[in-house]
Amino acid sequence: MTLTNILPVTDKTGKTRRYLRVKGQKLVKLPDLPTSHPEFIAAWSKAMQQATGHVPKPQTGTLAKLCQEFTRSHGFKGLSETYQSALLRHIDKIEAKGKSAMVAHLRQTHIRQDLAPLLPGAAQTRLKAWRRLMRFALDMGYIETDPSAGIDKPKMPKSDGHPRWTADEIDAFRARWPIGSVSRAIFELIYWTGARISDAVKIGPGMVSREGVLIFKQTKTGDLAYVPWTCPLPIFALESDRAMMLEAIRVCQGHMAFLATKQGRPRSAKAIGGDVSHAAREAGIGKSAHGLRKSRATDLFERGAPTNAVMAWTGHQTLAEAEHYTREFARQSAVVGRPERNGTGTVEKLAAPVAKSGK
């Protein structure tokens, strides 16, 4: 960006002062600083905007320009839509604050100051945005060292996240919302698949393989999830749950997505999440749709599913992620006998372990 409309005026003492000159407007005095100084650029930009009503394009090398270049880059466009959306909220704020700040002048202290007023969750995402921006700046040659390196990730307060639904709560929801209602269809699909709501709104019959397995690419991670749909079930999965799900979603079938509206329009993830929460409250349950994902992972572990099967079904990328959803069960199972199953794979009773004789 070239700084235009600058009028240098030299006074009797030989000192040169600079003014912004726009036809039909009064001269506006600019700071007595070099034209490359961030404060001079900021003052010039503000004066131009007030005089012309237009926002000048960011200058190459500024943080604002870097933000724009990054969001147009292949690296950014290669991220999932969900992650792009999360990063963009913070990148827009960084751009707004750094219209005239030069990337080469950034220091670690500037990033720390930007993170300081944010809550831990927001601060973590803002730091991720900074780190991606700085890696991009390194690749583009704007900086030689990364000022975001060495900044510790803000600590989150201890939390178990979205609480899982208990068996009693699942029964209560089913009792309140019968087969044929949209709320039941949404509930059963999310509970059976263990999908995030961002994926539940997109999955449809076209994703069921010839072998009868629902295979869909997760929006958040880009990894595939594999859910038994019409294929024979493994011993750790309940046929009754699948049958209820297949029957429940008939009310929404006939379109590209299982949970499309009657007119075939896709439902939004926000609407789906709100529907589950509202329907749960109607049944006296204070849980969310994401809690059903946790319940699915826990249920699979509880019924003896191996870890790799749980990870394939729910789409978790690492063992640590899968185990995060099953800590409660892991502690409980340490003191309870393993479930016994009948010929259909359903749990009949909990078998008490037999104490071995010391004789």
| Dist. CA 326–CA 299, nearest whole Å | 9
Mean pLDDT, to the nearest integer, of 136-161? 83
| More reliable by pLDDT, 268 or 325 | 268
CATH number, residue 172: 1.10.443.10
Burial 319-357 (b: 16+ CB within 10 A, else e): eeebeebbeebeeeeeeeeebebeeeeeeeeeeeeeeee
| Dist. CA 221–CA 214, nearest whole Å | 17
Q: Is 283 within the bounds of a domain?
A: yes
Q: Is 155 within the bounds of a domain?
A: no
Residue-level pLDDT at 356: 42
Residues facing 208 on adjacent strands: 214
Q: Is 161 within the bounds of a domain?
A: no
Count how many residues are written for the chain.
Answer: 359
Same domain, 96 and 217: no
Cβ atoms of 111 and 148 within 8 Å: the answer is: yes
Same domain, 187 and 42: no
Q: Is the pLDDT of residue 222 over 90?
A: no
Q: Is 160 within the bounds of a domain?
A: no
Same domain, 309 and 270: yes
Give me the phi and psi of 271, to 5 degrees please.
-65, -40
Mean pLDDT, to the nearest integer, of 101-125? 89
**pLDDT tier for residue 98 given thresholds of 50, 70 and 90:** confident
Same domain, 306 and 219: yes
Q: Is 349 within the bounds of a domain?
A: no
Same domain, 282 and 320: yes
Q: The domain containing residue 130 runs over which residues?
A: 63-140
Same domain, 208 and 278: yes
What is the rounded radius of gyration, in angstroms, for the C-alpha atoms of the chain?
29
Tell me: the pLDDT tens digits for 127-148?
Answer: 999 999 999 999 989 899 999 9
Of 140, 158, 178, which one is at a domain's C-terminal end?
140
Q: Is 128 within the bounds of a domain?
A: yes
Same domain, 45 and 75: no
What is the number of structural domains in the chain? 3
| Dist. CA 311–CA 305, nearest whole Å | 10
**pLDDT tier for residue 337 given thresholds of 50, 70 and 90:** low
Of 140, 158, 193, which one is at a domain's C-terminal end?
140
Residue-level pLDDT at 341: 43
Q: Is the pLDDT of residue 229 over 70?
A: yes
Same domain, 178 and 271: yes
| More reliable by pLDDT, 347 or 275 | 275
Residue-level pLDDT at 61: 81
Same domain, 179 and 291: yes
Q: Is 220 within the bounds of a domain?
A: yes
Q: Is the pLDDT of residue 359 over 50?
A: no
**pLDDT tier for residue 190 given thresholds of 50, 70 and 90:** very high
**pLDDT tier for residue 181 given thresholds of 50, 70 and 90:** very high
Q: Is 149 within the bounds of a domain?
A: no
Q: Is the pLDDT of residue 329 over 80?
A: no
Same domain, 131 and 215: no
| More reliable by pLDDT, 355 or 193 | 193
pTM of the model: 0.59
Q: Would you state the torsion angle of the CA atoms of residues 19, 23, 25, 30, taken in this order, to the nearest 10 degrees?
A: -10
Residue-level pLDDT at 330: 53
Tell me: the pLDDT tens digits for 3-33?
Answer: 678 888 887 788 888 888 888 788 888 888 8
Same domain, 187 and 309: yes
Same domain, 93 and 123: yes
